[in-house]
């Protein structure tokens, strides 16, 4: 605009001068026009350069944000039901959890029980479990869990601690310190089963051991299985040299698997039929093994049945499991047998249980189809929200036989009868009351009234 005014001014002035003077003015005007053109071209180029630079800055900022999320993921906490922290890109997340169980037990019984087992009848209290865990995954398909328990005689013990790699079809490979896959009751979390303690079959269940294996996801299939190779380990998850005649540490591996078929499953009506089997070959290589159990209360000082140390080449565990649910009723049953191969004999030990639970407030017990085990009870309305919470009654009879007089093994035969009442104040808090009647064959009877206060998160 300024150049146009200058040119117009010189044009008007030029009309007052001679031809030679007008020629000089025209030359000046031509130069001014060229300067204006150059200025416009330069201005346009500057605009284009600024736009390109601005776009580049935005791209660099976006790339820098992505790199920060990868190298230093920004955490977002989600406290909607679970303590979960995740990176802003969603590729990394972990959660914190735990459980706390405080028990009170009141005992009574006949003198024969004290004579046989050394148990007195003083009342006791203690923490059954005090656990904390951290779990999560990275990039969606690689997961982990680290869990410790602080309640065992003042010792810190390693519990579920593993890595797993999830495949596209939902199956997974895993390695770590886990429970060997044996039975419905042993596979179900202690947070969720009907009673304060597992049944007398706990005599046979392997504890946490370190191993590796494969698990089929049962969510989209009627068939589920979990297979593993394990080495017996201590409270820290480490194998330790075994003692005994001809002990061979390198060969002392266990091969364990559980398979479950689900012929009927309707999540809406909680109508299911569950049938499964367990097999475990336990290669002890001439080292001592032992089976023992208390009568379904953790606070008894000593076991009621105890096979004592058995020098074994190997042991084969075989188990069958059955469960059915219909609306607010659930029925579970299992049988397990241990065949021990000794140098000159083959004793057999076995046990079973039958249990049932009835939700008085009409809730249904959650079934985790992908893992073939039962989950938590979710009240229709929590006590803290003005409801009654959820109420359940349950009963169980269980039996174990750890005697083989033919081979001079007199571990005992024990029968238990348990009645339970459970109050679920909300999905994480419950109070449990169990009354257990126990009969130790040829020795006497015992009773225990047991109370538990429990919270998990």
pLDDT of 409-449, one tens digit each? 999 999 999 999 999 999 999 999 999 999 999 999 999 99
Residue 68 has pLDDT above 90, yes or no: no
- Indicate the angle between helix axes 19-71 and 2-14, nearest 10 degrees: 180
Main-chain dihedrals φ then ψ at residue 189, nearest 5 degrees: -60, 145
Q: Which residues of 425-440 are buried (b: 16+ CB within 10 A; e: fewer)?
A: bbbebbebebebebbb
Specify the pLDDT at position 1. 54
Q: How far is Cα 158 from Cα 165, in angstroms, rounded to an integer?
A: 21
DSSP 279-333: EEEE---SEEE--EE-SS-TT-SS-SEE---EEESEEEEEEEEEEEEETTEEEEE
The domain locations on the chain are 2-69, 93-456
Distance (Å, rounded) from C-alpha 186 to C-alpha 200? 11
Residues in the chain: 457
Predicted confidence (pLDDT) per residue in 120-141, tens digit = 888 999 999 999 999 999 887 8
Task: Give me the pLDDT at residue 101, please.
Answer: 97
Q: Are residues 272 and 260 in contact, defined by beta-carbon separation less than 8 angstroms?
A: no
Do residues 325 and 365 touch, judged by C-beta distance below 8 A?
yes
DSSP label of 252: -
The whole-number pLDDT of residue 94 equals: 87
Its pTM stands at 0.80
Q: Which of 51-60, 85-94, 125-134 has the lowest mean pLDDT?
A: 51-60
What CA–CA distance (Å, rounded) separates 42 from 52? 15
Is 304 in contact with 110 (CB distance < 8 Å)?
no
- Reported confidence tier of residue 12, pLDDT bands at 50, 70, 90: low
pLDDT top residue among 15 and 55: 55
Which band of pLDDT confidence, cut at 50, 70 and 90, is reported for residue 243? Answer: very low
Mean pLDDT of the chain: 87
Query: Per-residue pLDDT averaged across 39-65, rounded?
Result: 70
Task: Encode pLDDT of 246-284 as tens digits.
Answer: 444 555 789 999 999 999 999 888 999 999 999 999 998
**Residue 15: both structure tokens together:** 């009309």
Domain 93-456: CATH class, spelled out: mainly beta
Dihedral (CA of 148, 150, 153, 156) sign: positive
């Amino acid at each position: 605009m300024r150049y146009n005014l200058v040119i117009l001014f010189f044009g008007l002035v030029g009309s007052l001068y001679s031809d030679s003077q007008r020629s000089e003015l025209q030359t000046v005007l031509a130069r001014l026009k060229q300067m204006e053109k150059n200025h416009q071209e330069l201005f346009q180029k500057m605009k284009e350069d600024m736009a390109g630079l601005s776009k580049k800055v935005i791209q660099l900022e976006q790339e820098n944000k992505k790199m920060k999320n990868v190298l230093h993921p920004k955490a977002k906490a989600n406290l909607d039901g679970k303590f979960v922290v995740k990176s802003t890109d969603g590729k990394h997340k972990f959660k914190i959890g735990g459980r706390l169980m405080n028990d009170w037990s009141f005992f009574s019984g006949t003198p024969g029980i004290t004579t046989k087992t050394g148990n007195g009848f003083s009342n006791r209290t203690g923490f059954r479990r005090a656990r904390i865990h951290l779990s999560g995954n990275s990039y969606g398909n690689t997961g982990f869990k680290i869990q410790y328990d602080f309640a065992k005689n003042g010792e810190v013990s390693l519990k579920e601690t593993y890595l797993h790699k999830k495949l596209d079809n939902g199956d997974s490979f895993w390695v770590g310190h886990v429970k060997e896959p044996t039975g419905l009751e042993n596979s179900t979390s202690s947070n969720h089963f009907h009673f304060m303690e597992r049944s007398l079959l706990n005599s046979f269940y392997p504890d946490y051991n370190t191993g590796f294996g494969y698990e089929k996801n049962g969510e989209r299939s009627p068939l589920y299985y979990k297979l593993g190779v394990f080495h017996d380990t201590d409270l820290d998850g480490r194998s330790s040299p075994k003692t005994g005649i001809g002990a061979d540490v390198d060969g002392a591996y266990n091969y364990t698997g559980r398979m479950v078929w689900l012929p009927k499953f309707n999540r809406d009506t909680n109508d299911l039929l569950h049938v499964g089997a367990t097999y475990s070959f336990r290669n002890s290589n001439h080292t001592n093994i032992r089976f023992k159990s208390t009568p379904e209360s953790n606070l008894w000082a000593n076991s009621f049945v105890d096979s004592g140390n058995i020098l074994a080449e190997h042991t084969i565990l075989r188990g069958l499991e059955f469960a059915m649910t219909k609306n607010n009723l659930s029925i579970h049953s299992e049988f397990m047998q241990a065949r021990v191969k000794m140098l000159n004999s083959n004793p057999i030990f076995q046990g079973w249980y039958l249990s049932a639970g009835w939700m008085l407030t009409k809730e249904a017990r959650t079934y985790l189809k992908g893992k073939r085990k039962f989950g938590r009870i979710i009240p229709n309305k929590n006590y803290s929200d003005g409801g009654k919470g959820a109420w359940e009654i349950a009963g169980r009879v269980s039996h174990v036989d750890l005697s083989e007089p033919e081979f001079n093994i007199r571990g005992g035969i024990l029968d238990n009868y348990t009645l339970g009442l459970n109050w679920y104040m909300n999905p994480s808090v419950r109070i449990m009351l169990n009354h257990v009647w126990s009969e130790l064959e040829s020795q006497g009877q015992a009773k225990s009234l047991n109370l538990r206060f429990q919270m998990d998160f």
